Amino acid sequence: MNWLTGGPLGEVKRLIAQLSDSTRRDNAARELIKLGADSVPPLIDALQTQDPGLILYYQHILARISSATLPLTKALATAHPIIRGRVVEIFGMSKEKLAIPALLDALKGEYFTVRSRALLALGNIGDASG
């Protein structure tokens, strides 16, 4: 039956689409968090949205998924600078100490917006070396 429904990826994409509907948003967010690691790559892709009203929802959901740290760290090193900045903000929200080395690397990066957000995220985490 996965071929018909799209499997976990199809379910995740359906739930992400529901985040734009205020009547379905809370339930969709809970379900995305429950799906855990399956939700992470499509949510990282969703960070590219031009809708500023949805970015914060995506970020808060990713901040609550513990298995998101490694894919977010990879995105921080390789994604477009706008996505990198949004990923850094997620680490600041989650206060994920495992992200500290990646945030310290981001401080040395090319993009001022990412560097400044990395500094703020380190401050939120409480790292004295930032």
**pTM of the shown model:** 0.87
pLDDT at 1: 41
At 103 the three-state DSSP class reads helix
pLDDT at residue 129, as a whole number = 52
- For the chain, domains (ranges, CATH) are 2-125 (1.25.10.10)
Per-residue pLDDT of 16-47, as tens digits, reads: 999 999 999 999 999 999 999 999 999 999 99
Residue 55, exposed/middle/buried by CB under 10 A (0-12, 13-18, 19+)? middle
Q: What pLDDT, on the 0 to 100 scale, is given for residue 26? A: 96
- Whether the Cβ atoms of residue 84 and residue 111 lie closer than 8 Å to each other: yes
What pLDDT does residue 130 have? 47
Confidence of residue 5 (pLDDT cuts 50, 70, 90): low
